[in-house]
Chains A and B, each alone.
With several copies, the nearest count.
Chain A
């Protein structure tokens, strides 16, 4: 395998793994964020504070804890996830759920409450009203997803500990960068980082350029 095709493979794996992780985090975090953002309940500042604080989870420790869970002898060892991309996906998803929830909550809170009432009075049910609020906050949701994706794709600790940086199986951009750096392959390490950043820039710029169309499409 040539270096170029290897970089392509690693990059695609990174995108798949972290994209999947961000997707799962969105599935979990979005509803939580919407609920926390819309419901007025006692202890809401507490819940928000907890999710905010969880954003500080150090990846090395998270990787270690999950390793202990996923290890053969760990309580979740039977899942046989360790050293597979799926282990990384799970770990990264857990890592970024707090980011997803925090940004979503803040975004939803800033939507004019009348929007919810408008949807309701026009005949929407609760979930329809939530969808209407979500649609208004598409910019923030995009940011939440993008930040989650970015955090996932740029993290190292979880990928290293749960994936093991196995060539052809779990090596992704950050583990490759770390390896090349440790090996003193400075140029290659930085080159891989540039690949990562360029890919993410292209994705994010496209997303932002497409935002208007997404908005439009959501209203189809």
Chain B
């Protein structure tokens, strides 16, 4: 129990708390270690900011995150290569079942507008924001912007509570104080299924609520000591259909709903499926006017990951 690695290689994966806390990574770890007995997968979970710092500092070989803007910056600075989108799901706006702002069944932008209006007419709180620069928080900012509000301005409003804490705690707070909030689907379903929260999913999934998870290998030529080969091996394994299936099945049994939807197939097929389009416009990066899952300059070695 003193944690000897016993000659095995340690592959360190830096990830965000909300992803790690769903437990999907533990399932993947078990499978991967079973087929790679000489590897120990170590997931280090932290807020998105720190998770990326870990990678920059050479303390991780790979990052698993869900914040395209952060990812782009990370790769822009040369720290990451070979980005691969692995899965997606939808954020959801949840709130009290009485639904005082009457947002049930509308899309995200409308919902936020109604919440804004309702909030302005009220002296008490109605919305809780995590305000921690996490992937979820980044998404929330986009949503407010899309609905026509400046996040930094409404943050000062009386009807908005800033929780500054993790998703689970924020959901709890929303339950206790009867607030609306934006949640990733994984945490919400878990807490809801366990009866820890009493909030309803109120809006319909839509493009604006899309949440995309990707893996990025740490650039060994920029960050000394990064185990690039091991990282690429793991990414290749994640892309593989069996791992994708595992991701797709995770949570089905417990929550009657998948927490993650496999993305690799969607991107490969490049169908005119509207999901592909949503992913493309939300999580692809622009390079020379073209959108790439991973723009060519940020690719390292040939692992057959990309079609274009």
Contact = CB atoms under 8 A, between A and B. Distances in A.
Q: Do chains A and B touch in the complex (CB under 8 A)?
A: yes
Interface of A: 9-10, 12-13, 16, 67, 71-74, 77, 82-85, 160-161, 164-171, 175-176, 178-179, 181-186
A85 B164 CA distance: 15
29 contacts: A13-B1, A71-B54, A71-B58, A71-B172, A73-B57, A73-B224, A77-B58, A161-B46, A166-B42, A166-B44, A167-B161, A167-B164, A175-B165, A176-B164, A179-B165, A181-B50, A182-B17, A182-B49, A182-B168, A183-B21, A183-B47, A183-B190, A184-B47, A184-B48, A184-B52, A184-B53, A184-B190, A184-B191, A186-B194
Interface residues on B, range: 35 or more
A71 B168 contact: no
Contacts of A161: 46, 169
Contacts of A16: 1-2
Contacts, number: 138
B134 A182 contact: yes
Most chain A CB within 10 A, of B2, B43, B187, is at B2
Given A83-B42, A184-B47, A184-B191, A74 B57 contact: yes
B172 A165 contact: no
A171 B164 contact: yes
Nearest to B42: A166
Given A67-B172, A164-B44, A183 B23 contact: yes
A168 B132 contact: no
Interface in B33-67: 40, 42-50, 52-54, 57-59
B177 interface: yes
B164 A179 contact: yes
B57 A183 contact: no
Contacts of B48: 184
Nearest to B161: A166
A13 B2 CA distance: 6
Nearest to B125: A166
A168 B3 contact: yes
B191 to A, nearest CB: 5
A166 B48 CA distance: 18
A161 B165 CA distance: 9
Given A164-B163, A183-B190, A83 B45 contact: no
A84 B43 CA distance: 13
A111 to B, nearest CB: 37
Contacts of B49: 182-185
Given A13-B1, A186-B53, A83 B44 contact: yes
B259 to A, nearest CB: 12
A183 B42 contact: no
A131 B227 CA distance: 51
Contact of B21 (A73, A74, A82, A182): A182
Given A82-B176, A164-B161, A184-B47, 6 more contacts: A71-B59, A77-B58, A83-B10, A165-B165, A166-B43, A183-B132
A168 B17 CA distance: 19
Contacts of A179: 21, 131-132, 164-165
Nearest to A80: B225
Contacts of A77: 58
B55 to A, nearest CB: 10
B2 A83 contact: no
Given A82-B59, A164-B165, A181 B47 contact: yes
Contact of A169 (B26, B42, B175, B187): B42
B133 interface: yes
A160 B165 CA distance: 7
B78 interface: no
Nearest to B162: A167
Given A167-B162, A184-B47, A83 B134 contact: no
A160 to B, nearest CB: 6
Contacts of A185: 49, 194
A74 B225 CA distance: 13
Given A72-B224, A183-B49, A83 B164 contact: no
Contacts of A83: 10, 12, 42, 44, 59, 173, 176-177
